Chain A
Amino acid sequence: MNQSFLNNKLFVFLTVIIAIPIIVIAALSFFATDGINQTSFSLEGFKEIFSSLRLNELLKISGRALIVCITATAISFFVAYLLVRNTSKYFQSFFFILITLPFLANESVRVFSWQYLLSENGLFNKILSGITGNQITFFNGTNIMNVYLVMIIACIPFGVFINAASLRTIPNIYWKASDDLNLNSLNKFWKVALPLSKFALLASMLVTFFISFSLSSEVNYLGGDTKISLRNLVLSLMSASKFQSIFSLGFVITILLFVFILLFKVFNRNKISLTK
């Protein structure tokens, strides 16, 4: 279907409105504002974010986001597979509605609740101590695993939605053929579901990477001495009045997103032409 319900003028108007904040980020990353009206072209913002100190912080945040996105995608794909292949539509609706709760809940309340469970005297250590009969303090304020765990859990709902949507579109004939070939559950997962979901897996990784890149309350509440997070970086740049650097960082992320989305489009087009 290729018909337009939005006339060109309205479409341009709506897209410009959405694009305004992005345009502002792009423009202000190249202009230093001295006072309110004085602006001059400058690349200081980029120099600041690519300085060794800031780059080191950004690499740490990106590294953490990469681990979180890979783990969250792997778990969410497996969960989505179980859900789509083995449960009724009613159960799926029930699951999808309840899984939204972690990302709909207030960020501070959600992370604080986890802090209560993962603290040294928290429920998790109590359960482990009860099982082993020894005093266990595995989960504590200095355990960086807490940050990863809570970030992964925050990202999983997004991964489940994307992967389940993709798995639902696999034509039934593939599953029937795999039944005819007597493939067991593991082979169906490995040889049918996984190869046909490459695009969804990549999309899920992209989305969870950028979401976990921005997650900061987890670090503030659970990170112990580790205080490197995007919000803390932005706040430290704000307190030094380096707003241009913040927008430069935003511009770099926008370009990265733009490139990734275009690559996805090319990848998807190639996939469609190969299928044809």
Chain B
Amino acid sequence: MKMTKTILISFLGILIIPIFSIIVLSFQNNTGDILKWYQSIFANKDFTDAFLLSTFVSFLTATFSVLFSFLISLSWFNKRQMFVVLMLILIVGLLPPDIFALSINKVSQLLGFYSSNFFFLIVGLTFYTLPFGVLLFWTRFYFIEQTTIVAAKDIGLQRFYIITKIILPLSKATVTTSFLLSFLLAFNEYPRTYYLSGSNVLLSEFLNGKLNSGADESIYAGGSITIILTAILIIGYFVFHSQRTKNTLLKNAQANA
């Protein structure tokens, strides 16, 4: 058991530690001031603008994604509907992002929007996060007891109330997970923003451009900020989730006693 855990933790280290190597670079400079690149990047208006814009866009994307994925994931309870949705989300999720983003761009052109606009950027990012959201909700629905739904029907609860009074409250944690995942996916996404953001510069585009050119070393601090933010949100969620599970178990134990 200990040996297996050591292997798994080492494996996890191989997967994630290299991502943090950019943080080492962000503290290296000739002046001896280890925060030089951080001061420089926060003084860069283009970076702060791109950061705020990305946060705003990702927040909207995550909100739409949770709403849309919850609605469409209700197809779980009907086998035929579920297969159609599964097929669609697999195609949407696995089609190359470059081609998919171009098709959304084309839709916007067909609707008469020739210059870039936020709506289609958010649509493109929502499509990207949708498959993850639907799969998360389906994982939750798998554990909802059939008898709960049957009992609700037996007492005459209508479809709308079963969704809002039973399914939704039982999926509260999934709503949070789905929102967080969608936010992080949208915040860090590059290919779709490249094709859909037009003249607006989002953080992922800003970072890609600067990292490619390699001219401005303060970009290491910029990259590190996104990595640290992502890690904090993921680990913070894990701590919150563990605490919540522990509290629920404690409550159940007290109720049984």
**Chain A contact residues, CB within 8 Å of chain B:** 1-7, 10-11, 14-15, 18-22, 24-25, 28, 36, 79, 82-83, 86-87, 90-91, 93-95, 97-102, 104-110, 112-114, 116-117, 123, 153, 156-157, 206-207, 210-211, 213-214, 216-217, 220, 230-231, 234, 238, 243, 246-247, 249-250, 253-254, 257-258, 261, 265
B85 touches A210 (CB 8 A): no
A5 touches B234 (CB 8 A): no
**Contacts A/B (CB < 8 Å), 15 sampled:** A5-B78, A11-B81, A87-B4, A90-B242, A98-B12, A105-B230, A108-B223, A114-B18, A117-B18, A117-B21, A153-B15, A210-B94, A234-B96, A246-B98, A265-B83
A108 touches B190 (CB 8 A): yes
B87 touches A258 (CB 8 A): yes
The 5 A-B pairs with the shortest beta carbon distances in the complex, nearest first, are: A250-B99, A210-B94, A109-B223, A108-B208, A86-B4
Query: In the complex, which residues of chain B have a beta carbon less than 8 angstroms from the beta carbon of A216?
Result: 98, 191
Q: Identify B91's interface contact among A3, A22, A112, A220, CB under 8 A.
A: A22
Query: In the complex, which residues of chain A have a beta carbon less than 8 angstroms from the beta carbon of B4?
Result: 82, 86-87
B19 touches A109 (CB 8 A): yes
Shortest CB–CB separation between residue A8 and chain B, in angstroms?
Answer: 9
Q: With A and B bound together, what is the CA distance between A213 and B98 in angstroms?
A: 11
A82 touches B8 (CB 8 A): yes
Closest to A19 in B: B88
Query: In the complex, which residues of chain A have a beta carbon less than 8 angstroms from the beta carbon of B81?
Result: 4, 6, 11
A112 touches B211 (CB 8 A): yes
For window 103-152 of B, CB contacts with A under 8 Å fall at 103-104, 106-107, 109-110, 127, 130, 146, 149
Shortest CB–CB separation between residue B257 and chain A, in angstroms?
Answer: 23
Query: In the complex, which residues of chain B have a beta carbon less than 8 angstroms from the beta carbon of A79?
Result: 8, 11
B90 touches A257 (CB 8 A): yes
Q: Identify B188's interface contact among A107, A213, A249, CB under 8 A.
A: A107
A101 touches B19 (CB 8 A): yes
B234 touches A97 (CB 8 A): yes
Q: Identify A214's interface contact among B88, B97, B211, B234, CB under 8 A.
A: B97
B226 touches A109 (CB 8 A): yes
Q: With A and B bound together, what is the CA distance between A36 and B146 in angstroms?
A: 53
For window 4-35 of B, CB contacts with A under 8 Å fall at 4-5, 7-8, 11-12, 14-16, 18-22, 25
B223 touches A253 (CB 8 A): no
B75 touches A6 (CB 8 A): yes
User: Known: A15-B85, A109-B207, A114-B18. Is A21-B234 also a contact (CB below 8 A)?
Assistant: no
Interface check B250, CB cutoff 8 A: no
Q: A102-B19, A211-B94, A253-B95 are in contact. List 8 more A-B contacts (CB 8 A).
A: A11-B75, A18-B92, A25-B100, A98-B238, A101-B16, A108-B208, A109-B211, A206-B94
Interface check B102, CB cutoff 8 A: yes
A112 touches B22 (CB 8 A): yes
Q: With A and B bound together, what is the CA distance between A258 and B104 in angstroms?
A: 20
Closest to A154 in B: B15
Interface check B71, CB cutoff 8 A: yes
Query: In the complex, which residues of chain B have a beta carbon less than 8 angstroms from the beta carbon of A15?
Result: 72, 84-85, 88
Q: Identify A5's interface contact among B74, B96, B237, CB under 8 A.
A: B74
Query: In the complex, which residues of chain B have a beta carbon less than 8 angstroms from the beta carbon of A114?
Result: 18, 21
Shortest CB–CB separation between residue A30 and chain B, in angstroms?
Answer: 14
Interface check B185, CB cutoff 8 A: yes
A91 touches B5 (CB 8 A): yes
Q: With A and B bound together, what is the CA distance between A109 and B204 in angstroms?
A: 9
B25 touches A95 (CB 8 A): no
Q: With A and B bound together, what is the CA distance between A231 and B103 in angstroms?
A: 15
B19 touches A231 (CB 8 A): no
User: Known: A2-B78, A230-B96. Is A24-B15 also a contact (CB below 8 A)?
Assistant: no
User: Known: A91-B5, A265-B83. Is A104-B188 also a contact (CB below 8 A)?
Assistant: yes
Q: Identify A82's interface contact among B7, B83, B163, CB under 8 A.
A: B7
Shortest CB–CB separation between residue A227 and chain B, in angstroms?
Answer: 13
Q: Identify B103's interface contact among A28, A117, A206, A213, CB under 8 A.
A: A28
A113 touches B18 (CB 8 A): yes
Query: In the complex, which residues of chain B have a beta carbon less than 8 angstroms from the beta carbon of A95?
Result: 8, 12
Q: Identify A105's interface contact among B1, B95, B226, B237, CB under 8 A.
A: B226
Query: In the complex, which residues of chain A have a beta carbon less than 8 angstroms from the beta carbon of B97?
Result: 214
B85 touches A249 (CB 8 A): no
B87 touches A261 (CB 8 A): yes
Closest to A103 in B: B185
User: Known: A231-B98, A246-B99. Is A109-B227 also a contact (CB below 8 A)?
Assistant: yes
For window 125-184 of B, CB contacts with A under 8 Å fall at 127, 130, 146, 149, 159, 162-163, 167, 181, 184
Interface check B52, CB cutoff 8 A: no
Q: With A and B bound together, what is the CA distance between A218 and B95 in angstroms?
A: 18
Query: In the complex, which residues of chain A have a beta carbon less than 8 angstroms from the beta carbon of B204?
Result: 106-108
